[in-house]
Amino acid sequence: MSDPSAEQGVPPSAPEPTPSAARRQTWVATDGTQVAKKADVTRRFLALVIDIVIAAILSVIPFLGNLLAAAYLLLRDGFDFAFMDHRSVGKRLMRLRPVCDDGSPVTLEVSARRNWPLAVMSLALFLGVVPVLGFVIRPLGAAAGIVLVVLEGYFAFNDEHGLRWGDGLAGTRIVETES
């Protein structure tokens, strides 16, 4: 069967944009307003510092501390506690909000996809308690964690819309909020 538009001399329509291309063109906040600029990188960095301090405090708890720190870093944007409201404590204080591309709040699952590159180091420190294997896991995990954090920062700073690798994996972005 032939395409009727091709028979009439009409050129075929342009292909649909890929989801990632469409995602980079349409930016809508949870209240339905268009978001044209990326969230302030300095505020994002300060939010990360606050969250790392919280994770560091959690990590001093004997034995499970590093696991709790990794869990916080991994799931922090999906908690639905009133004082967090689907964002980390750092983002709340810096008036930032991670949102899914459709404008919906970030869930625990989406938060895990978004933040796993930043939780690698804490998880490696937790697994470092394993006898013998811990001597290999800790330094490799710490090195991998540092590389991932640097790469994530590079992407957030240099991407036109402030997307880091984790945002691309989870289909999220950071928007600035009034509260």
At 119-156, the pLDDT tens digits run: 887 777 777 767 777 788 888 888 888 899 899 989 99
- CB proximity list for 53: less than 8 A, separation 6 or greater: none
Q: Provide the domain limits for residue 151.
A: 27-176
* pLDDT-above-90 percentage for the chain: 49
- Phi, psi at residue 176, to the nearest 5°? -85, 145
- 146 within some domain: yes
- 5 within some domain: no
Tell me the pTM: 0.74
- 4 within some domain: no
At 53-89, the pLDDT tens digits run: 999 999 899 888 888 988 999 999 999 999 999 999 9
Number of domains in the chain: 1
- 17 within some domain: no
Distance CA 69, CA 66 (A): 5
